[in-house]
Chains A and B, each alone.
Chain A
Amino acid sequence: GAVVSQHPSWVICKSGTSVKIECRSLDFQATTMFWYRQFPKQSLMLMATSNEGSKATYEQGVEKDKFLINHASLTLSTLTVTSAHPEDSSFYICSAKRGTSGITTDTQYFGPGTRLTVL
């Protein structure tokens, strides 16, 4: 159990367009989901933390109006990169924490990542 999926796996878009990335917990309810960016051979950079039904908490330096996060259900969080530019090209990874009856475990389950290329 504890599988996290992301869709799409790859996306190529033109500069100025918006891209939506989905993160789903397939076999558990995720009360908290995280969005990360990763550059080659570097640590994951936390962008934001989202809790189901509430606004996401963004890390310092991450533009909330550019990276829109919605955690509408206990199994789905979406990251929308608005007006994407080439510098937004990166590997975006989500993770989810399992929650049961209001109790959240510490273990994070990571998704396979979405590679975004902005032309």
Chain B
Amino acid sequence: GQNIDQPTEMTATEGAIVQINCTYQTSGFNGLFWYQQHAGEAPTFLSYNVLDGLEEKGRFSSFLSRSKGYSYLLLKELQMKDSASYLCAVMDSNYQLIWGAGTKLIIKP
């Protein structure tokens, strides 16, 4: 079967760095997405990786290793507003999205 695994919850301190991991097993691969979702709001697109390596976009970076079925989202200089759920999703060979359950990130002062 297909599945995406990511931690349920993480806690970090304001100003610090946090890495949210995502491992996947899917039938085919057409890219991996990271979304941020604040409570009661729609998910916001953060990144899309289809090739191996690190993509940096401001305070957020996303890494992909296709051979390991592994990705991480790196958040630097954490701010209180970064408290949210972070969703990992993989597009499979049928261009269907397989979603992780999301990681709830709690930022403490």
Residues of A within 8 A of B (CB): 2, 9-10, 34, 36, 41-46, 93, 106-110, 112-113, 115
B97→A43 contact, CB < 8 A: no
- Which residues in window 17-42 of B have CB below 8 A to A? 35, 37, 39, 42
| B94 contacts partner chain A, Cβ-Cβ < 8 Å | yes
User: How long is the Cα–Cα vector from A110 to B33 in the complex, in angstroms?
Assistant: 13
B96→A113 contact, CB < 8 A: yes
Interface residues on B, range: 10 to 19
Q: Beyond the given A43-B43, A44-B42, A112-B99, could you list 20 further A-B residue pairs with CB under 8 A, ordered by the A residue number?
A: A2-B101, A9-B96, A10-B94, A34-B42, A41-B48, A42-B45, A43-B35, A43-B44, A43-B45, A44-B35, A106-B39, A107-B101, A108-B37, A109-B99, A109-B101, A110-B89, A110-B99, A112-B97, A113-B96, A115-B95
Residues of B within 8 A of A (CB): 35, 37, 39, 42-45, 48, 87, 89, 94-99, 101-102
User: How long is the Cα–Cα vector from A112 to B43 in the complex, in angstroms?
Assistant: 15
Chain A: interface secondary structure?
strand
- A36 in complex: contacting residue of B42, B87, B96, CB < 8 Å: B42
User: How long is the Cα–Cα vector from A9 to B92 in the complex, in angstroms?
Assistant: 12
User: How long is the Cα–Cα vector from A93 to B94 in the complex, in angstroms?
Assistant: 15
Q: Which of A2, A10, A42, A110 has the most CB of B within 10 A?
A: A110
User: How long is the Cα–Cα vector from A44 to B46 in the complex, in angstroms?
Assistant: 11
A93→B97 contact, CB < 8 A: yes
- B42 in complex: contacting residue of A46, A107, A112, CB < 8 Å: A46
- Which of chain B's residues have a CB closer than 8 A to the CB of A115? 95
User: How long is the Cα–Cα vector from A41 to B44 in the complex, in angstroms?
Assistant: 10
